[in-house]
Structure 1
Amino acid sequence: MREEKSERSSQARVTIMDVAEAAGVSKSSVSRFLDERLPPSQSEVAKRVRKVAQDLGYVRDVSAASLRRGSTGTIGVIVPRLTDTVMAMLYEALARAAARTGRFAIVATSDDDLAADRRAADALLNRGVDGLILSTARQGEDFTRDLARRGVAFALALRTDGVSPSAVGDDRLGGYLATRHLIDLGHSRIGLIAGPAYASNARGRADGYAAAMAEAGLPVDPGWVVPSGFGIETGAEAATTLMALPQRPTAIFAVNDNTAIGALSALAGMGLRVPEDVSLVGYNDIPIVSHLATPLTTVRVPFDQIAAEALELVFQPEGTQGDATRLLAPTLIPRRSTRKI
């Protein structure tokens, strides 16, 4: 039997018809007995079919079975990169949400490049995914409009284009909470590591910063707002720029934890202590920031809620999505990187 199995595998994939012929039953019986979604039959015929299938090396083609039902049970996820902890956390949350609905999440990365976004989407759609979730949206781009025109079921997560169905954190509220925390500690010169202008989450957090400063009647020196990427290196560069100002800030709000970690490193390199010399707040609450030598005050994003809402938006009945935006509230997590002055 082993020789027969080896010979078969070297020639062609074992099919359900091969199992039916070898077991002396119908194709429909084999399909029923091997369907893992059904309680396993304990009849002698069912046991024989399962034994024959195992000996022949039969592997059920789940994607083909799903296609016959008009669904593959998969959801495509496009993120800029998985080396970014935030995007890895989002993908894991989406994978958990998908599993709860009997689906499987497939991820593709695009390095935040629009052309790569399109290629990734086409590759995932060609694999038969039932829909897409994108965390790469840029306001003003027509990529999502193209997907909508093609009838692709999709939703945006973490970032929004202002038009498409989106599940995002309330970034304006989060930016407000971070800045208000520093104001309540007595800081009035608060620098902002602002992130990239193309990302709605960075813009929302910057808007929250501006709102909190205005509410407190605090002027914002234009030099206190430094654009950056989302990486550690750009955070270090931005912090260096802020600390070179004639009237440098006593506190910094960085719009994500990676840039805050970069700022922390740069401040240490300048001989400045956090929080004794400069208070520092990040955003997202990635796992490492609570374990730093100086645990980072940050704003926690509800990734699991965002993932569940994004998945629900993808599979809403056609024509009911509209321009729905689901806003999920963040939470301020005070730690030792901030202090009263």
Structure 2
Amino acid sequence: MVTIVDVARVAGVSKSTVSRVLDERLPRSQNATAERVRKAAAELGYVRDPLASGLRRVGTSTIGVVVPHLTDTVMAMFYEEIAAAATARGLFAVVASTNDDPDTERVAVESLVRRRVDGLILTTARIDTPIPLGPLGDSLPHVLALRTNDTSFASLGDDRLGAHLATRHLLDLGHRRIGLVRGPGYASTARNREAGYRDALTEAGVPVDETLLAGDSFTMQSGEIAGRALLDRADRPTAIFAVNDNNAIGVMAVAHALGLSVPDDLSLVGYNDIPVVSRLPVPMTTIRVPFAQIATAALELLNEASADGVPRTVTAAPTLIPRRSATAPR
């Protein structure tokens, strides 16, 4: 895709100059600079992105991105994909972190609105809960990403499918006692991944043992606590699916502390495919989420939101990445 960055480089002008010259809503300039910009755009085959122009509510070309934690590798990875997709469209992405707290989120949104962002992408949605946009953000186009509240525009990974793939993989290896490390109950990602786990077991004719479900957060610490509850018992599971790679790393730490070998004593599957899991002493089987695809779709949905379109959800399919942490039970 040819962007205004490319046109600006060839014409020897700034991005803002290119944007101004090529904006059909403004009077057509006939000076030498404008002609040079139009010539460069024509030679490169530049086509103006309707998203970049459609969002120009106040003309800052800035998208606000709201995340629970930037220390969370998943959120950092996703923000980078949003920033890259925005740059390709002549937009700039700025991020705010909320500590996954609705009150802090409201303050963060108001701060972004005061900075005159043209739209918001939020990864902080809670199931069946309105987005805390506050009075300043009510009229601002916004799209949910990764998580949904089931009512707004949303760009998601297919978490139910991903969890089904993970659990089906363990079942195909021969496991029948498969534990689940869950995430927070308010997150659609956790809800849908648990549903996918249950789907796979039910389809295989394996009863869901509710005592093999533990956990309530997407952190390593939560994974350790859940892992201890599942593994420090006589009838421990032979495999565990953790709905987040951080949870899985916590489970792996507990297994090591208990003298259990992964995968000889315990098979383990995570979710998201953050970079570190392929470089662990035992590389981890996980579900890869197409963050770039989700980011691009979120930006495209912003255009629909800015035009007051009917809210809809776009879903991207994940992929199972088999590695050494999951094998047949010994």
Instruction: Give the TM-score category using the shorter length.
Output: 0.7 to 0.9
What is the match of residue 205 of structure 1? 193
Which of 174, 177, 184 is matched with 1:196 structurally? 184
Please say if residues 169 and 301 of structure 1, whose CA atoms lie closer than 8 Å, have aligned partners that are also in contact: yes
Equivalences for residues 108-123 of structure 1 within 5 A:
108-123=96-111
Partner of 2:298: 310
TM value normalised by structure 1: 0.79
Tell me the residue number matched to 2:155: 167
Contact 1:165/1:321, CA 8 A, preserved across alignment: no
Determine the structure 1 residue equivalent to 2:27. none
Q: Equivalent residue for 1:247?
A: 235
Determine if contact 1:223/1:245 at 8 Å carries over to the other structure.
no
**Residue 257 of structure 2: aligned partner:** 269
The question of 1:101 aligning with 2:109 is answered: no
Equivalent of residue 76 in structure 2, options 88, 102, 108: 88
For the residues of structure 2 that align with 1:183 and 1:105, how far apart are their CA atoms?
42
Q: Is the 8 A contact 1:167 1:306 kept in 2?
A: yes
Partner of 1:332: 320
Question: What is the Cα deviation at residue 151 of structure 1?
Answer: 1.8
The one-letter amino acid paired with 2:190 is: A
d(CA) in 2 for partners of 1:340, 1:127: 54
**Residues 213 and 104 (structure 1), Cα distance of their counterparts in 2 relative to 1, 3 Å cut:** same
Alignment of 1:14-25 (within 5 A): none
Trace 1:1-341 onto structure 2 (pairs within 5 A): 36-37=17-18, 70-143=58-131, 150-316=138-304, 318-319=306-307, 321-341=309-329
Once superposed, what is the RMSD of the aligned Cα atoms? Answer: 2.4
Q: Any idea what the Cα deviations from partners look like across 1:120-165, whole Å, max 9, x if unmatched?
A: 0000001000000000000132225868992210000000000000
**2:223 and 2:248 in contact (8 A); partners too:** yes
Q: Per-residue CA shift, 1:9-64, capped at 9, x if unaligned?
A: xxxxxxxxxxxxxxxxxxxxxxxx8764269x889xxxxxxxxxxxxxxxxxxxxx
Structure of larger gyration radius:
1
- Contact 1:197–1:227, Cα closer than 8 Å, also in 2: no
Shift in CA distance, 238/68, structure 1 to aligned 2, threshold 3 Å = closer
The change in CA–CA distance for 1:127 and 1:268 in structure 2 (over 3 A counts) is same
Judged with a 3 Å threshold, the aligned counterparts in structure 2 of structure 1 residues 225 and 297 are, in CA distance, closer, same or farther, namely same
Q: Per the alignment, in what secondary structure is the counterpart of residue 95 of structure 2?
A: strand
Structure 2 CA distance, aligned partners of 1:250 and 1:69? 55
The two structures have a TM-score, normalised by structure 2, of: 0.82
CA distance in 1, matches of 2:225, 2:67: 25
Counterpart of 1:119 in structure 2: which amino acid?
V
Contact 2:128–2:151 (Cα < 8 Å) also in 1: no
**Are 1:257 and 1:284, in contact at CA under 8 Å, matched by a contact in 2?**
yes
Structure 1 residue 171: deviation in Å?
Answer: 0.2
Q: Is the 8 A contact 1:74 1:104 kept in 2?
A: yes
1:68–1:295 CA distance, 2 compared to 1 (3 A): closer
Unaligned runs of 5+ in 1: 1-32, 44-66
Q: Are the aligned partners of 1:144 and 1:164 in contact in 2 as well (CA < 8 Å)?
A: no
The letter for the 1-side match of 2:300 is E
Distance in 2 of aligned mates of 1:161 and 1:117: 15
Task: Write the distance in 2 (CA, Å) between the matches of 1:156 and 1:169.
Answer: 12
Measure how far apart 1:305 and its partner are: 0.4
Amino acid at match of 2:204: A
In structure 1, what is the Cα distance between the partners aligned to 2:255 and 2:214?
16
- The answer for unaligned runs of 5 or more in structure 2 is 1-12, 23-30, 34-54
Aligned length: 286
Alpha-carbon distance in structure 1 between the residues aligned to 2:305 and 2:103: 29
Identity %: 51
- Secondary structure, in 3 states, of the residue corresponding to 2:83? helix
